[in-house]
Structure 1
């Protein structure tokens, strides 16, 4: 289906053909699906702008989702939310309730910001789902450190810039330990009291001990979304807040 379902019959057809791929809904499940839509009517179809925010719920990555919610909810008549905060869909055990719930919300959100910091977990599954034509035109992807903004030594004159570069190295450096040590030396050369251990601790806190990366499959999709002006790299939380302004 190339467009958003406009009525309950179209919605049921979409769920059956484009989400469940032939798994039938029995009459009870169909009624529960419609009941869910009725209960969420004001949320899904209200006068406010809805932002369905996607990304990893693991700490510390969840903190960036919370920051995105805060930024978007400051807008006039805006409602930004996570899937986890919405009521569960009560259907039979053989129906993938979480998947159906995801599409019910994604179909009617006005914008879908997806914050991506690594290539494992639920955020990657969500990334695959929002690439569908029905959703792609409303999706805005925010991958962390897709671009290297702090690789010019001339900008590495503040503690914040040094920390941002440390994050970039975690994503891009072939010899991370050596390059992090060199970064600490550069900081001290500029009379900044920053040690290698300080930077290691900062990266550990920001990335939860994970070695971040984007697989070739993810990178290929990032190139696609960049060509559609739907992909906006960020490194620091302040940059993420600025980049969220691209979401209408």
Structure 2
């Protein structure tokens, strides 16, 4: 069995890894084995090339995918870098008995230089990916970017611009016990600072940013986030501008 603390260095090791650590002993028929090897040959330059590769994870739902696209833009701006999503990579097209999307995920995760994961809620594919990267050989290259895990705009003296008030509204969506009461108080504070912002406007802004969700992180998620934070691999953000700045932590 392949050591999970070690990245497979050749196709034999990789095949053993896929069989033992991804498929848990499920046998591949000769056709599927050939398709797996063909995929590796076709993607060799992409997976093993001299450029820095960033395998970006997160929710593909609108509007959350907009943040993934922003992350791709920031990382691809780097010299000799290639940041990409799993959905843009060719499919394996193996038999129905093989979970080829899962195999495809690990093929790319194993050889990425870094794995940034943008997290905005605790449901959907992003959480499934979060569970997969908590393996020794992947965890040390994973960087978590949870939205509003920490409150950066809770100082009322900062609420002097429309952008700051909107950012605070997002944080309230994650942390306030009563979001309606929190937004009403925030709108009143904004008006005290000379900003014409209504509770309804803030509610509509949250809908556009969060797709009507009441966002939260479960105890299981926050426990893992605390682990990554202790390893200096977890960076909270609220606005897109903050996310772009936090991505500088990805080597």
TM-score (norm. length: structure 1): 0.99
1:119 aligned counterpart, secondary structure: coil
2:187 aligned counterpart, secondary structure: helix
Task: State the alpha-carbon separation in 1 of the partners of residues 214 and 196 from structure 2.
Answer: 25
Task: State the alpha-carbon separation in 1 of the partners of residues 65 and 11 from structure 2.
Answer: 34
Task: State the alpha-carbon separation in 2 of the partners of residues 161 and 169 from structure 1.
Answer: 12
For residue 119 of structure 1, report the CA deviation from its aligned partner.
0.3
Task: State the alpha-carbon separation in 1 of the partners of residues 48 and 25 from structure 2.
Answer: 28
Q: Aligned match of 1:114 in 83, 96, 117?
A: 117
Task: State the alpha-carbon separation in 1 of the partners of residues 111 and 9 from structure 2.
Answer: 10
RMSD of the TM alignment (CA)? 0.6
Question: What is the 5 A alignment of 1:84-163?
Answer: 84-163=87-166
Task: State the alpha-carbon separation in 2 of the partners of residues 201 and 146 from structure 1.
Answer: 22
Q: Aligned match of 1:185 in 188, 191, 203?
A: 188
1:169 aligned counterpart, secondary structure: helix
Task: State the alpha-carbon separation in 1 of the partners of residues 247 and 143 from structure 2.
Answer: 9
- Residue equivalent to 1:170: 173
- Residue equivalent to 2:56: 53
Task: State the alpha-carbon separation in 1 of the partners of residues 158 and 21 from structure 2.
Answer: 48
Deviations 1:75-122 (A, max 9, x none): 000000000000000211100000000000000000000000000000
Deviations 1:111-150 (A, max 9, x none): 0000000000000000000111010010000000000111
Give the number of aligned pairs.
248
2:53 aligned counterpart, secondary structure: strand
**Structure 1 residue runs of 4 or more that deviate by more than 3 Å after TM superposition:** none
Task: State the alpha-carbon separation in 1 of the partners of residues 25 and 175 from structure 2.
Answer: 43
1:87 aligned counterpart, secondary structure: coil
Task: State the alpha-carbon separation in 2 of the partners of residues 225 and 24 from structure 1.
Answer: 34
- Residue equivalent to 1:42: 45
TM-score (norm. length: structure 2): 0.98
For residue 155 of structure 1, report the CA deviation from its aligned partner.
1.1
For residue 41 of structure 1, report the CA deviation from its aligned partner.
0.7
Deviations 1:204-236 (A, max 9, x none): 100011110000100110111000011000000
1:25 aligned counterpart, secondary structure: coil
